[in-house]
Homo-oligomer: A and B are copies of this chain.
Amino acid sequence: MGFLRGGLVLFILLCSFEKSFGSRKTRHLKWDVEYMFWSPDCKENVVMGINGQFPGPTIRAKAGDTISVLLTNKLHTEGVVIHWHGIRQVGTPWADGTASISQCAINPGETFDYRFIVDKPGTYFYHGHFGMQRSAGLYGSLIVDVADGETEPFHYDAEFNMLLSDWWHQSVHHQEVGLSSKPFRWIGEPQTLLINGRGQFNCSLAAHFSNTTSTNQCNLRGNEQCAPQILRVLPNKTYRLRIASTTALASLNLAVGGHKMVVVEADGNYVQPFQVEDIDIYSGESYSVLIRTNQEASKNYWISIGVRGRRPQTPQALTLLNYAPTSASKIPFSPPPITPTWNDYDHSKSFSNKILALMGSPKPPRNHDRRIILLNTQNLIDGFTKWSINNISLHLPSTPYLGSIKYSLKTAFDNKSPPENFASDYDVMKPPVNPNTTTGNGVYMLPLNTTVDVILQNANALEVNVSEIHPWHLHGHDFWVLGYGEGKFTKEDEKKFNLKNPPLRNTAVIFPFGWTALRFVTDNPGVWAFHCHIEPHLHMGMGVVFAEGVQHVNGIPNQALACGLTGNRFMKTTQN
């Protein structure tokens, strides 16, 4: 009894202690990564799961909290890392989870402590960043609420989380071999789109609206791994939908039948609210939208997700907005919302251009110190198909840059700085005259506290009249999106930059045959990947590496550098 009372006193003391630090917590998580059998789309396959779950557990924290994930690699022969997408890792660049860039991959059987602060509320996610392990299913949601005492700049009654992905039946190992083969074998379109890891391959929830008889109506009990998570709502409330896309390939469009959406957040940054019928979302992006459940409560409504930007061969993903007390088994009266035509880029651009920073948000510096223009091209090396940036296809080194740059290991990567522009006579509207390229792993060295502009320039791919969408994601930073344009970027285009209220993002798309202008300040020492977030494109070399103020980085865990030349260097003094 005395013991119990003592325990109670200690508990109260601990609670007070916690409060005196403004409720900032360290959230301790223990994760095991392993392959397991799973049926994401009703067809059994092997997925990369965490703690027996697919998708991995949702992390929920408050702004200012520290997350500690003790990640144990239970794979048999593969290394693993996890990237915390949208978290800037200020002061902890070694926790960014990019193999070959911020750390050595965690070996089978080993445990790595990912410890970092989530400093900003928002809708984030995490995913594998080694080989194509993201495509294998290694992902999950990371939701950061406002700190205690703070409020969001909008009201809502409750929220739902929707992590979107795409799924292939062929293993990523098989896909990787195809991408690295001569002749090249493309992975093709996904078999299924997933919402929170759930989709239906062999059937449709809306089969009876289909024009064909070949589609079967799904006959699901609801407890299957592939059964849709239904959004159960009360009438006349406001709901926040947190929508994030970790697709390997697909650009998506989401619509809620009969309901308009008000966009309020993009990539963990508040935007000036605007209303739309549907949203486009590219891999690497996240949005929060508000919906008002002001429709007829005796009905249910479709939520539909479809493919954009590539000729779709994948059925829509569907789930239901289910008004209480209507039965969730009641099929909506109308067919699911139709996804806009895949190549209606005006629709996409119109949406992108509506995204502006919430009034009062930080503005970009008026001027840039440096401008890097990055031409995106599809190329060939000895018959192997690649993507290149300013004619260099990124091939990551075996020693993480964070270590090799800090310790000036000059043989670890190409010391020549990659080009900051491309030939002025390059015609972005035509296939490359000379399609050849080279591999490389040079780094853009950026001095601290400078303002950098990046112009992402799209171009025609190898085939005539083809230019693809590429959503580019920057690690370690948000950037301002200063504008989108058509054709080749010119000095004149600069005059049209939005310096008044450009949105802060960590991912921005380049439209076919167009350009996108970004600005950021190099205020975060570390080495940061900047790459197309389409998994096979990155695998084919579509990325660059930025290093800033690496000499200011201290405290890199030994384990993060125990490979390649850093591993060898630090073990040199010992005689084994």
Contact = CB atoms under 8 A, between A and B. Distances in A.
A573 interface: yes
Contact of A564 (B110, B397, B398, B560): B110
A41 to B, nearest CB: 17
A563 B562 CA distance: 6
Nearest to A111: B398
Most interface-central of A104, A562, A570, A576 (chain B CB within 10 A): A576
Contacts of A562: 562-563, 567-568, 571
Given A558-B574, A576-B556, A576-B558, A104 B107 contact: yes
User: What is the total number of copies of this protein in its complex?
Assistant: 2
B567 A567 contact: yes
Most interface-central of A132, A403, A571 (chain B CB within 10 A): A571
A109 B564 contact: yes
A46 B171 CA distance: 11
Contacts of A406: 576
Interface in A552-567: 554-564, 567
A159 interface: no
A110 to B, nearest CB: 5
Contact of A130 (B77, B539, B559, B571): B77
A174 interface: yes
A105 interface: yes
A-side interface mostly: loop
Size category of the A interface is 35 or more
A567 B576 contact: no
Interface string A83-106: 000000000000000001000110
Given A35-B177, A107-B79, A133-B77, A568 B576 contact: no
A145 to B, nearest CB: 33
Nearest to A564: B110
A564 B131 contact: no
Most interface-central of A35, A130, A176, A177 (chain B CB within 10 A): A177
A109 B570 contact: no
B561 A173 contact: no
Interface string A40-70: 0000001000000000000000000000000
Q: What 8 A-B pairs have minimum CB-CB distances, sorted nearest first?
A: A109-B398, A556-B576, A77-B131, A562-B567, A76-B131, A558-B571, A570-B571, A77-B78
10 contacts: A76-B130, A79-B107, A104-B107, A110-B398, A556-B576, A558-B571, A558-B572, A558-B576, A562-B571, A567-B571
Interface of A: 34-37, 46, 76-80, 100, 104-105, 107-110, 130-133, 171, 173-174, 176-178, 180-181, 396-398, 403, 406, 539, 554-564, 567-568, 570-576
